Chain A
Amino acid sequence: MEAVIIKEKIKEVLVSILEHENFDMRDELTAADVDGWDSLSHMMILTKIEEKFNIKFKLRDLNKLKNMGTLVTVIQSKI
């Protein structure tokens, strides 16, 4: 799946959980840059992403998720 399409889907997840669109889906985007994306909503976001792409993250993947770019790469490696 292309990165652009993946990002589009991630954005839908973020909007549905965080209830706002005040962020820009660049590769360097980190959770700290986004209002409401904290350690608690993080898990809900990951669960929604798993459902959307029909994948399962591993605990070890979690540490690789440094920013939007790495999130897309990890998702790509699982589809």
Chain B
Amino acid sequence: MVFNSFNFIVFIIPVLLLYWIIFKRSSVLQNVFLLLASIFFYAFADWRFLILLIASILLNFYLGLKIHNAEKESKQKMFLNIGLVFNIGLLLYFKYFNFFYEGFFKALNLFGLDSNHNTLKILLPLGISFFTFQTLGYLIDVYNEEVKPNQNLLQFSVFIAFFPKILSGPIERAANLLPQIEKKRLFSYNIFTDGLRQILWGLFAKMVIAEKCAEIANPIFDNFENQSGSLLLLGAFFYAIQLYADFSGYSNMAIGVSKLFGLQLMRNFSTPFFSTNISDYWRKWHISLTTWMMDYVFTPLSFTLRGYQKKGLVISIIATFILVGFWHGANWTFVFYGLLHGIYFIPLVYSGKMNKSEIVAKGKWMPSFKELFKMLALFVLIMLTDVFFRANTVTEAFNYIASIFSYSLFKFPNELLSSSYIIGIVLIAFFTIVEWKHRERLHDFEISNYNIIFRWSSYIFIFLLILFFGKSSETFIYFQF
């Protein structure tokens, strides 16, 4: 049940009414109801893995308490390790088993050994990459004494299974979400309407921008061998926008839906294309994943390698980004995607320009030429790297990029004059201007500071755009992860 479906509307309206009218009296009632709604939501998507989700909740809850209550450090570590093995094991089995299994037989082939084998048909439980990362983070936080373990199984279950984020994140942290679940939520008109605004913008990003870009990019990628360099460049452009609109749109919807229940999830995208260097970009792209990787992979790794100075940093960054890539799926294309991003950091490490930058052109209408140039250059780099994200194999991605840089790059693509492309570009321009305008706000469509007439005309305008140009598809790119 995706947010932009009729089923979801039928589900969410009664759930919201019951939540705020019948179950508002105490946090216990609110949590019981949220848990039931979340179980229904998950089971509706795929009931077969409900048992797995419940088992994961129970075991991680128990381990959190065990880690905290153990007196000796060695015992604490033992319980942590059990948790790491269980959670990472789940992920490895369901998501990566065939990748390593095939790799093993390919290696045997190299030595001329017989390799008659069949890969296993393993179904990927929905949301597994998201909820296992959340439970892993929780256990590590408890072990590091960053958070106290939650003593209440009901609250903990809501923390893991809360339906707006179970399928595709944001990957929440105990320190942010648990305290909110522990308290009774009071209805706030402002938060509720802000949630609705964010959902509207998410719907627009997904149903209009991402779908339009997909419509243009798909035929180019599917038949890239026969396209001119200039058209391939356009294909890469539309795909980069599609990827962003798809996942940032999804995240805005998830965060918005969650606000309707009075729970504030973490921000997941913060206008990443308005960055002037790669490190800034990653501070704004899929924030819940990158901060997770920062805290639980990069920090320990760079700490261990701190004796090697900048070389140690470079190794840690590259290893972290390979993992970021690999998290997306068991395919070498994702490994390459991560590796390339890691490599882009090297000049920054050596020039010492890793500082968090200010918001581009803060307080101004327009960026300077220098800022604009840097943003465009970064965008082109990211857009070309996204080809690895989209392609089926690494070779295909290399061929695609090599074909861009051919003589036909200078051939004018006639497709650009077709109505589909023109509409796509105009819509993207509108999308970009709105996001640019709100790059300093708390989300991409936080327009509470405007007057009521402007606000309502904006809602109606965007609603009409969705009505006229929107397409509904039941899939999101990030569901496969």
Q: Which residues of A contact B (CB under 8 A)?
A: 35-36, 38-41, 43-44, 46-47, 57, 59-60, 62-63
User: Per a CB cutoff under 8 Å, which of A35, A39, A47 touches B309?
Assistant: A47
Chain B residues contacting A63 (CB-CB under 8 Å) are 144-146
Say whether A60 contacts B309, CB under 8 Å: no
Say whether A40 contacts B313, CB under 8 Å: yes
Say whether B354 contacts A43, CB under 8 Å: no
Apart from A39-B294, A44-B313, what are 4 other A-B pairs with CB-CB below 8 Å? Answer: A38-B356, A44-B310, A46-B306, A47-B309
Q: How far is the CA of A59 from the CA of B309 in the complex (A)?
A: 17
User: Per a CB cutoff under 8 Å, which of B303, B309, B356 touches A62?
Assistant: B303
User: Per a CB cutoff under 8 Å, which of A36, A43, A62 touches B352?
Assistant: A36
Whether B349 sits at the interface, judged by CB under 8 Å, is yes
Q: Is the interface of B mostly helix, strand, loop or mixed?
A: helix
Count of CB-CB pairs between chains A and B under 8 Å: 42
Say whether B306 contacts A44, CB under 8 Å: yes
Q: When each residue 119-154 of chain B gets 1 if its CB lies under 8 Å from chain A and 0 otherwise, what string results?
A: 000000000000000000000000011100000000
User: In the complex, how many residues of chain B place their beta carbon closer than 8 angstroms to a beta carbon of chain A?
Assistant: 21
Q: How far is the CA of A35 from the CA of B294 in the complex (A)?
A: 19
Whether B89 sits at the interface, judged by CB under 8 Å, is no
Q: How far is the CA of A62 from the CA of B145 in the complex (A)?
A: 11
User: Per a CB cutoff under 8 Å, which of B144, B303, B355 touches A43?
Assistant: B303
**Which residue of A is nearest B345, CB measured?**
A40
Chain A residues contacting B299 (CB-CB under 8 Å) are 39, 62
Say whether A47 contacts B307, CB under 8 Å: yes
User: Per a CB cutoff under 8 Å, which of A35, A43, A46, A62 touches B313?
Assistant: A43
Q: How far is the CA of A62 from the CA of B294 in the complex (A)?
A: 13
* 14 A–B pairs (Cβ distance < 8 Å), ordered by A: A39-B299, A39-B302, A39-B354, A40-B302, A40-B349, A41-B354, A43-B302, A43-B303, A44-B309, A44-B310, A47-B306, A59-B300, A62-B299, A63-B144
